[in-house]
Amino acid sequence: MSDEATFHDGYRKALEEVSKLVTGMQDGHMVELADLLADLDRMIERARCLRASSLACRASGDAGY
């Protein structure tokens, strides 16, 4: 696995952990937490896509995205 793909995988895992922690804090700020969780979900999906793109780039021999 490339360094870049490893970075994106680690970034995604960290965001998922933050998402779990925030989910456990839901008391009184539901709207703000829902917005934060939606943002985290978008970041996680982007990291997942970037990781896959990075791995595909290495497999195809291309030098960039």
Question: In which domain, by residue range, is 9 found?
Answer: 3-60
User: What's the confidence (pLDDT) of residue 43?
Assistant: 84
Number of domains in the chain: 1
Q: What is the DSSP letter of 61?
A: T
The reply to whether 65 falls in a domain is no
Q: What is the chain's mean pLDDT, rounded?
A: 75
Letter for the amino acid at 13? K
Note the pLDDT tens digit of each residue in 25-40.
Answer: 767 778 888 888 888 8
26 Cβ neighbours under 8 A, 6+ residues apart: 33
The reply to whether 43 falls in a domain is yes
